[in-house]
Amino acid sequence: MTKSDDRRVRKALQGADFPATKQDLITYAEERGADAKTMLALRAVPDGTYDDADQVEDAVPQQPR
């Protein structure tokens, strides 16, 4: 993933209610029509509950795939 993936994830989660689980966030982004790269980045974050978009962005893996 890359820093641009971080930005994509943050944009896709604008307006999301937190705290939210990984699955909640994936569903939210899908419903908003997030692109495939954004969805790949979201699916790569560890399972868990996130308190805000900053936590989600920090959880996006940074190693290239």
Rounded CA-CA distance 26/30 in Å is 6
pLDDT in the model for residue 23:
98
CA 22 and chain centroid, separation: 8
Report yes or no: 58 and 46 within 8 Å, Cβ to Cβ.
no
CA 32-38-44 angle, to 5 degrees, is 120
pLDDT > 50? residue 59:
yes
Of 56 and 3, the structure prediction assigns the larger pLDDT to 56
Give residue-wise pLDDT tens across range 1-50.
566 667 889 999 999 999 999 999 999 999 999 999 999 999 999 999 99
According to the model, what pLDDT value does residue 62 have? 77
CB 19 within 8 A of CB 50: yes
